[in-house]
Amino acid sequence: MRIDLHLHTNASDGQHTPSELIDIVRKHRLDIIAVTDHDTTAGIAEAQSASAGYPQVIPGIELSAEDEQGDVHVLGY
C-alpha cells in the first residue's frame, strides 16, 4: 500500500488543480492520499470527486500559526 499524507493543490501553494493531482497520484500508484492545503479545505471536494474512490482521499489541512520562535505549520486530518 502506497500512501502520501501531505499534498498541496493550487488552492494554496501547489502547482496542480485537485483533478490534475489525482491524475498524477494515479500514475504513481498511490492508494491513499491526504490533501493538506495551507489554511484552506477548498481543494478537497474536487479531489474526492475526481478520485471516485481511487485513490482514497483523506480530507486534511495545513494550518499556519505563529509563536515567539516563528512560524509553525500543523497538519490536521
Question: What pLDDT, in 10s, does the model give residues 48-74?
Answer: 999 999 999 999 999 999 989 999 999
Nearby residues of 58 by Cβ (< 8 Å), 6 or more positions away: 5, 32, 33, 34, 35, 77
**Cβ atoms 49, 66 nearer than 8 A:** no
Taking residues 8-14, report their average pLDDT: 98
Q: Which domain holds residue 10?
A: 3-76
Question: What pLDDT, in 10s, does the model give residues 13-45?
Answer: 999 999 999 999 999 999 999 999 999 999 999
Taking residues 5-12, report their average pLDDT: 99
Q: Phi first, then psi: what are they for 11, rounded to 5°?
A: -70, -20
- Predicted TM-score (pTM) of the model is 0.92
Domain count, the chain: 1
pLDDT value, residue 67:
85
For residue 75, the number of C-alpha atoms closer than 13 Å in the C-beta half-sphere is 12
